[in-house]
Amino acid sequence: MSDESPPDGWEVHERRMWEAYRRGESCEDVPVVRAEVLRWLLVAAPRPVRGRLARLRLRGAHITGVLDLSEVVVQGAIRLRACRFDEAPCFDGGQFSVLELTDCGLPGLTAVGARVGQECEIVGCALDGTLDLRSLSVGTCLLLDRSTVVAPDDQAAIDAQSLAVEEDFSAAQLDCSGPIYLNSSRVQDALGFRGARIRGDRAYLQAPELTVGGGLYLDRGFANDGGINLYGASIGGSLHLEDSTLTGTGERRGEPALQLLCATVGGDIQAGQGLVVQGCVDLRDTTVRGTVVLKRARLHHPAGTALKAERVHDGGNFNCRDGFVAQGTVDLRDARVGGSVLFEGAELTGLAAPALRANGPRVPAARTNHPGSAGPLVLELPLPLAGARDRDPRRHGTRLPPRPGGRRQCVDTGGNDTPQPRVPTRLPGPVARPRRRPSGLAPASRLHRMQ
């Protein structure tokens, strides 16, 4: 056997695959191929034809046996299209230049600790087992678009903890039955689950301590039947939640529909038009350098708190205008807002507790726009929210008394046309300070003794 000829005992169609690999051509006439033949081809790496780039391009093949490429170094690209695997392939600890699986059927895939120098694509594939990508390192992009993952009982659908992607990570139109883990993962640019669906009894997205250099996109029809955990996440761009549906089970840890505690968002939180939440949204102790936009969003958690935003730091506006609906308490206690807090045209309903909580006096609203509300809507308006604009109380809500610095603040309460009563509570005036005597002047007691 020479480098220009395949090993003895290979089938005719396997020999054709050998020649196609050396020429870098696509091989589409291989109905069945043994996994051990693929491993031999990739590990032995026959010498390419002069002037050609050796690579594996296989289409429509039925791969029998276990394709075990663990801890191997493959120089050429691996591109498998419309292939069917009998067993889950293993890429653990391997080093690859390009790894691409498109429209393939697999009973699972594992690539723990693998390194892919360029792109890693698992696009349009159907997996009937766990996609294990723990500690995977990708030099450019990671794509999971249009793939379907069905997890076994008590196992993760996608386990990508400690993942490192140097460019974008896209999972658009992903259909996943079971939990997804992205704990302590890092994506240099954007991370997108646009139009993805996470469904089932154990459907949740666990991504605490996630680091994203660009934006995080959970929009354009994204739906999650469980919670999203972004505790301590760092998002360099904006968080997009438009046209998405989130579902939670409660308010305790791990139960909110969106848990964004102690996180940092370098851009905006765009969670406006089309966002529907069944459960609690938890933004406590989170810093948003841009604007929080919730206008036209619908939050439903009438038995408790629909929006927890205590101690949130917002550098821009906190915008809940123009059709924002919250069935449940909106809690803004100890929040710091650099722009305006806007509730004009919003519908806030508090059945078991005040509809809006914040530091400061309690002011009864004139009316509530929600037809099913029992009794008056009670708002606890915040005093320390900075930068709220001074508006006409006959149109935009309640005007609060001036601050010690002389500037007024206002929190919109639903765009009522009825003039609201002024808050009777007075703010404490400036603290009296002792007058300083001119320099060089002795105290009066010393002057008396000197005389």
The answer on 100 and 56 residing in a single domain is: no
Better-scored residue on pLDDT, 340 or 99: 99
The answer on 96 and 22 residing in a single domain is: no
CA gap 288, 273 in Å, rounded: 19
CA gap 353, 328 in Å, rounded: 8
Q: What's the rounded mean pLDDT across residues 318-344?
A: 92
The per-residue pLDDT for range 64-109, each reduced to its tens digit, is: 999 999 999 998 899 999 999 999 999 999 999 999 999 999 999 9
How is residue 451 written in tokens?
């005389």
Backbone angles phi, psi at 17, to 5 degrees: -65, -35
Return the minimum-mean-pLDDT range out of 91-95, 360-364, 400-404: 360-364
CA gap 263, 312 in Å, rounded: 10
Is residue 447 in a domain? no
Q: What's the rounded mean pLDDT across residues 319-325?
A: 91
Is residue 427 in a domain? no
Residue at token pair 């002792």: 434
Contacts within 8 Å (CB) and 24+ apart, 101-104: 101/125, 104/80
Question: 24 vs 3, 18, 27, CA distance in Å?
Answer: 16, 10, 9
Domain count within the chain: 2
The answer on 110 and 29 residing in a single domain is: no
Question: Is 289 a residue whose pLDDT tops 90?
Answer: yes
Q: Last residue of some domain: 394, 412, 430? A: 412
| Burial class of residue 8, CB neighbours in 10 A (0-12, 13-18, 19+) | exposed
The answer on 105 and 13 residing in a single domain is: no
Is residue 448 in a domain? no
The answer on 258 and 170 residing in a single domain is: yes
211 bridge partner residues = 186, 234
Q: What is the pLDDT of residue 430?
A: 42
How is residue 368 written in tokens?
């509530």
Residue 420 pLDDT grade (very low, low, confident, very high; cuts 50, 70, 90): very low
Question: Is 400 a residue whose pLDDT tops 70?
Answer: no
How is residue 123 written in tokens?
């696009």
The answer on 365 and 217 residing in a single domain is: yes
The answer on 103 and 41 residing in a single domain is: no
Q: What's the rounded mean pLDDT across residues 417-437?
A: 38
Q: Last residue of some domain: 412, 431, 446? A: 412
Q: How far apart are the first and last CA of the chain?
A: 122
Question: Is 371 a residue whose pLDDT tops 50?
Answer: no
DSSP code per residue over 246-269 = EE-S-SSTT-SSEE-TT-EESS-E
Q: What is the pLDDT of residue 154?
A: 84
Indicate the average pLDDT of the chain: 81
Is residue 72 in a domain? no
Q: What is the pLDDT of residue 375?
A: 33
Residue 368 pLDDT grade (very low, low, confident, very high; cuts 50, 70, 90): very low
CA gap 139, 151 in Å, rounded: 27
How is residue 69 written in tokens?
């490429």
User: CA nearest 116: which of 140, 151, 87, 144?
Assistant: 140
CA gap 47, 209 in Å, rounded: 45
Q: What is the pLDDT of residue 414?
A: 36
Query: Parallel, antiparallel, or unpaired: how do β-strands 131-132 and 26-27 relate?
Result: unpaired
Q: What's the rounded mean pLDDT across residues 168-176?
A: 97
The per-residue pLDDT for range 221-278, each reduced to its tens digit, is: 999 999 999 999 999 999 999 999 999 887 777 789 999 999 999 999 999 889 999 9
Is residue 425 in a domain? no
Is residue 449 in a domain? no
Are the beta carbons of 285 and 311 closer than 8 angstroms? yes
For 440, other C-beta atoms within 10 Å of its C-beta total: 5
Backbone angles phi, psi at 348, to 5 degrees: -115, 125
How is residue 166 written in tokens?
């140097």
The answer on 374 and 230 residing in a single domain is: yes
Better-scored residue on pLDDT, 138 or 423: 138
The per-residue pLDDT for range 101-158, each reduced to its tens digit, is: 999 999 999 999 999 999 999 999 999 999 999 999 999 999 999 999 998 888 999 9
Is residue 422 in a domain? no
Question: Is 441 a residue whose pLDDT tops 90?
Answer: no
Q: What's the rounded mean pLDDT across residues 175-182?
A: 95
Better-scored residue on pLDDT, 382 or 116: 116
How much of the chain, in percent, has pLDDT values that exceed 90? 60
Q: What is the pLDDT of residue 75?
A: 87
Q: What is the pLDDT of residue 332?
A: 93
Is residue 420 in a domain? no
Separation of CA 256 from chain center: 14
The answer on 132 and 33 residing in a single domain is: no
The answer on 111 and 169 residing in a single domain is: yes
The answer on 288 and 185 residing in a single domain is: yes
Are the beta carbons of 131 and 158 closer than 8 angstroms? yes
397 bridge partner residues = 412
CA gap 61, 29 in Å, rounded: 8
3-class DSSP state of 273: coil
How is residue 82 written in tokens?
């419309």
The answer on 269 and 303 residing in a single domain is: yes
Q: What's the rounded mean pLDDT across residues 48-56?
A: 84
How is residue 296 written in tokens?
């036209």
The per-residue pLDDT for range 183-237, each reduced to its tens digit, is: 999 999 999 999 999 998 888 999 999 999 999 999 999 999 999 999 999 999 9
CA gap 101, 123 in Å, rounded: 6
Question: 167 vs 47, 191, 331, 349, CA distance in Å?
Answer: 32, 9, 37, 43
- Which residues span the domain enclosing 131? 85-412
